[in-house]
Amino acid sequence: MLRLPPLEFRAPTSLDEALASLEGGGANGAGRVRLVAGGTDLWPNMKRRHQQAGTVVSLMSIDELRRIEQTARGLTIGSTVTLTGVLRNPAVRDRYPGFARAVAAISSPPLRNMGTLGGNLCVDTRCTYYNQTEEWRRSIDYCMKEQGTICWVATNSPRCWAHSASDAAPMLCALGARLKLVSSAGEREIPLADLYRDDGIDYLGMRPGEILTEVTVPNDADSEHCRSAFWKLRRRGSIDFSVLSVAVALWMDKHNAVSRAAVYLGAVGSSPVAVDTAEELLVGKTIDEDLIAAVARQARKDATPMSNTDFVPAWRGKMAEHYTHAALCEAAGLPVRRQAPKHGLTVV
């Protein structure tokens, strides 16, 4: 049985108390301090010694982080709202169907009952050579994401190529979501897309001592203004992390021409990958098969899958084209010639 290492556990009941714990330097003033919400990623990683901490600070007892509220700008979701709580909210399901599908695709019901939206947005990057037992990793020598100096995916690379593992992130990036980060020095609000860095180790652009407190999905990205779709590829129909995901958001004018568009790919880079030319190709035009095929081909070029997860990289790259084509067809209301993945949107 894998066991947690010795640690000090804190459960503050206010944001100020949590921020003070981050400044304190951990148990007895020494050791790394880590935040935890649902713990579905951190606890297993600490048991396998992927991540270490002398002190773990839980955010789950802070009431203000568990709210879902409609504001003048959009739907604001606290960072510790569980994934099940997100799915059970009628405003999420009715107004942001692509986002609801992305959340429903995360893992399995028991883990969605524990896991949180903020936790999924900040989930650690993954790699075949990193997400193994301690004995396995020691036997081949550690990679640079932990204690080593080499990336086993690209042995001559100076950087880590672990891939982004969040399903919520690509869809929320496509919808233009923003998030609030709070520290003892104050607070700031940034586009969610700006949170991520294309680096398997230093993959989050959060400053020291910052806590992600809320995510706002804008009003102009709801179903009255925007058409969204989310497709996820994995070996099994549930539980597994993505080996590819595609998030599409389309805004149409009264003539059914595209006024704004966003396409993001997940699990093919160390951060969500924007297909930047999608907007250039689509805006001002009425969507047809030729346009969709052009964007899908560009998605294939932008995707850089490597041998850091399940399935052959070349096949995952080709599937990026097929899944982008299918997601765009679905969002545009055109026939989809591919069987859609099951996402289990039934909520009880």
Written as six digits, the tokens of 46 are 């600490």
Q: With pLDDT > 70 as the criterion, what percentage of the chain qualifies?
A: 96
Average pLDDT, stretch 250-268?
Answer: 97
Average pLDDT, stretch 154-173?
Answer: 96
pLDDT of residue 251: 98
Q: Could you report the per-residue pLDDT of 97-106, keeping only the tens digit for each? A: 999 999 999 9
pLDDT of residue 339: 76
Average pLDDT, the chain: 94
Q: Other C-beta atoms within 10 Å of 284: how many?
A: 11
Average pLDDT, stretch 250-261?
Answer: 96
**All domains of the chain, ordered by start, with CATH?**
1-61 (3.30.43.10), 64-123+163-221 (3.30.465.10), 229-332 (3.30.390.50)
Q: With pLDDT > 90 as the criterion, what percentage of the chain qualifies?
A: 89
Task: Find the DSSP H helices in the chain.
Answer: 15-23, 42-47, 83-88, 90-95, 97-104, 109-114, 117-121, 134-140, 168-174, 277-282, 289-302, 313-332
Written as six digits, the tokens of 68 are 């879902």
Check if the beta carbon of residue 273 is closer than 8 Å to that of residue 265. Answer: yes
Average pLDDT, stretch 274-286?
Answer: 96
Check if the beta carbon of residue 343 is closer than 8 Å to that of residue 105. Answer: yes
Bigger pLDDT: 26 or 235?
235
Confidence of residue 348 (pLDDT cuts 50, 70, 90): very low
Q: pTM value? A: 0.94
| Lowest mean per-residue pLDDT among 146-160, 236-250, 332-346 | 332-346
Confidence of residue 146 (pLDDT cuts 50, 70, 90): confident
Q: Could you report the per-residue pLDDT of 84-137, keeping only the tens digit for each? A: 999 999 999 999 999 999 999 999 999 999 999 999 999 999 999 999 988 899
